[in-house]
Each structure stands twice: as structure tokens, then as C-alpha cells.
Amino acid sequence: MKLSHRSRISFGKRAEFKVITKLLENKFDVYLPLVDDHGVDAIIKTEKGEYREIQIKARSNEVKLGNSALFAALEYCVRENYYFIFYSEILDTFWLFESEKLFSLTSINKSGKNSGKHTIKLNGKKSNIDYPLTKYKEFETVNFEKLG
């Protein structure tokens, strides 16, 4: 079943709030920008008083088998204190990447409507079941402790 544009946007906002809830549960102060025009969905303050900009990307349980953690069309720049949190609803898994590390792991789309944008696939598929790829295990997180 293909989601409508409205359903995709609604899911994206729900997923952002799911991540924000997890951050709050793990004792981070979370600030929400009124405008998301710099790829920043949230700003957190660590216990050390440092700030981190967070971009949140999520995949719903409505995606095609094999794509539960495929994040395509990523547009971003590498900068200090800029992090990506990915969430797969099907896998119920979170991944946390510093922007510089993420940039080194993505591939660049060479053609199509997302040409020039970045892609990372965090899942594999076997026997009609998606699973998190072990090569990205170090980036899986439940408490976001690597944010500081």
C-alpha cells in the first residue's frame, strides 16, 4: 500500500516526536526550531552544556520489504555538532551518526530524481524478513549516550 503525501508527512512528524521523547527520557534538554530549513529537527543540550543539532529520518512499517531502513535523498553538509538519528518502525531500531561519519558511509545517487543526493541502507533482507545490518551495529542506540 502506497502512503499518501499527507500520511507520509504525518508519519514523519510522529517519528520525530518518538525520537524527541526518547531523548527526553534519556535526560537531554530538547529544543525544537520553529522552522526546519537547515536540516535541523531538534537541538539538544548535553549534561556538559554542549549543544548538538539533530536531523531525524524515519521509515514507516508501510515501506516495501527490503527497504525498512533505506534512507535515500539525504541532503546535508558535514559540520561540527551535527548528528543524524535514523529510525525504522519495522525494525524498531534507532541509529545515531555524526554527520562527518555518515557522509563517509553514504553513496551518492548518480541518476534519477535524487541525483547528487546521498543514500544509506541500514538493513538487509533474508527469507522475506528485514534485519539491521551488522556492519552498522556500532551506530545502533537505545539511549543516545554518544551525544554526550
Higher pLDDT, 102 or 75: 102
3-state SS, residue 72:
strand
Residue 37: what pLDDT? 75
> Is residue 32's pLDDT more than 80?
yes
The answer on pLDDT for 146 being more than 70 is yes
Fold of 5-147: Trna Endonuclease; Chain: A, domain 1 (3.40.1350)
Distance CA 17, CA 12 (A): 9
**Taking 60 as the threshold, does the pLDDT of residue 1 lie above it?**
no
- Residue 43's nearest CA partner among 90, 100, 85 is 85
**Whether the predicted pLDDT of 96 surpasses 90:** yes
- The CB-side HSE value for 53 (13 A sphere, CA atoms) comes to 14
Side chain identity at residue 43, one-letter code: I
C-alpha cell at 148: 554526550
* The predicted structure's pLDDT at residue 76: 74
Terminal alpha carbon distance of the chain: 40
**Domain-wise residue ranges, the chain:** 5-147
Asked whether residue 9 carries a pLDDT value surpassing 90, the answer given is no
Q: What is the pTM of this model?
A: 0.91
